[in-house]
Structure 1
């Protein structure tokens, strides 16, 4: 547990009769990207606000550590170790990009000389040097988002909360933002990412937690989560009709396509399942000409785990602390 950048147990938050978080546990190793998925209104932003000291939880705050600091006992130390980029840009459009950066430097109590140095380095890092003297209101959506993250980095935080950082961006700007996020992690920063883009979580996250009805419905790597959802299979194609027939007999539960000489055998795509299938083929003395593994994608996982009455039997992928969720 000592290598966790974020550790929380039993987070609860309600607004009136509406329970937003109902006993949420989180464990995020340092230097990784952790993604929290959920429908709109699922509580993702509420979780970020609690962990970043912006609001208090109804329960569980005493069991939260951020960057090694107790959230309840040392909120100032927590704030000093984190950066937050919210859903809505904190950029002031009435002043230039450089002035936005210098304002953040002042808020972090940097000297004028140090503030200018840090601002210049970050503007260059995020490819904003040429636009630095222009009003931020003239920036594109992608440029504003890059400036927003650059402003977050002025204090050199080791943990960054990114709340839907690519919402509204075009595909090229989104991919640029992905490169920036990967670069942060390569520098040792921990990223807590909420997103409404499943492809984004699949592409970036080391671990993903799916939030539904105030609880973590499942947590794991993208591949582990995909294996929770039924529908995975292995497709086998043959050119020899005799080999095809022998394989169909060996794999009794497979679906047949006699015209194309293909079989579709149920499989979760795991190494163990593939070994069992291949052992059956070896025993039958046949070899497929083509083997393709098909597993459900994160869209399938999301729809199976979220929404009213959503359940996935056996959704017990162990988290980083060894618990089953």
Structure 2
């Protein structure tokens, strides 16, 4: 779908496509929305920015895209300073915002064509046709946007963001309020774009999407970027594993001889849960089995589980700041 330019084909992939340095944002009244953000986005990756409501995700994206002015710091996007060389930087970026702001009285084709021309791109009807077909909008190309459903308007926003074939695509809560069909189409398109070299930054409340799609994860909380890590490394570092044992007999308390293991006894007295770090050697399970046998504790079923990205995210944003560095 996206046709990379000669410059982007030969771009040095070791140089971040987005570099954020010392970015702060303080609003009138003294509220500090962002605090000394430093972040590099790798060329061609899918980067998921996670954080609770009000954490600063949209503010950071808006500053990178030039919609909001930062209070301090510098940002370089695709080799262009976003303040000194705003037009060139913005031409490299496509943004799908949360809000459904569109030209209500224009047709789908007109608004997408206009968006392409706004960035100085020559007309390319074949590209726009494919874009609209990929988004299931071709049959509605002549309809006014005001007549479309909310899901279709969201598709138009995606088409507008991609109309000028940007090297960088921001998706700010793209799945919020959309139907399953659109979500499926959107993520299929994201994978295609990534395969063609487009860098994609997304924020989402659907953490399972980040777990499925992202190469790296950034977590922002109260205006601070508290962690940036490769997804799989993050899962290994901070993930927990649990072994749940269903007992044959009821226990009232855990025997003192089992205090060496982090065990929890359920209220019904028939379930023991053993939690351990996913990075540690799992030989402790065998030792636990022997200890249970020595104490005459038998089990009739056991199952293991691992932390999800959502579990890790919740634990991170609840921790004091100093424990996450």
Match status 1:71 vs 2:78: no
- Structure 1 distance, partners of 2:311, 2:272, is 25
CA-to-aligned-CA distance 1:170-228 (integer Å, 9 cap, x gap)? 34433332222222212211111122333333332222222112111223245555667
Which segment drifts farther, 70-79 or 44-53? 70-79
Change (3 A) 1:41 1:3: same
TM-score with structure 1 setting the length: 0.77
Correspondence for 1:273: 280
Q: Which of 138, 145, 158 matches 1:136?
A: 145
Correspondence for 2:53: 40
Change (3 A) 1:109 1:76: closer
Change (3 A) 1:296 1:147: closer
What's the secondary structure of 2:139's corresponding residue? coil
Match status 1:148 vs 2:157: yes
- Structure 1 distance, partners of 2:197, 2:246, is 45
The answer as to whether partners of 2:48 and 2:204 remain within 8 angstroms in 1 is: yes
What's the secondary structure of 2:41's corresponding residue? strand
Match status 1:14 vs 2:58: no
Correspondence for 2:310: 298
What's the secondary structure of 1:273's corresponding residue? coil
Change (3 A) 1:21 1:123: same
Q: Which of 98, 103, 124 matches 1:87?
A: 98
Which runs of structure 2 are paired with 1:50-129 in the superposition (5 Å)? 50-61=63-74, 64-111=75-122, 114-129=123-138
Correspondence for 2:170: 161
The answer as to whether partners of 1:255 and 1:263 remain within 8 angstroms in 2 is: yes
Correspondence for 1:311: 320
Change (3 A) 1:165 1:238: same
| Structure 2: gaps of 5 or more residues | 1-12, 249-256, 294-298
What's the secondary structure of 1:123's corresponding residue? helix
- Structure 2 distance, partners of 1:230, 1:152, is 35
Deviation at 1:122, TM superposition (A): 1.2
Change (3 A) 1:186 1:230: closer
CA-to-aligned-CA distance 1:211-267 (integer Å, 9 cap, x gap)? 11211122324555566768742335799xxxxxxxx9697443468x998653221
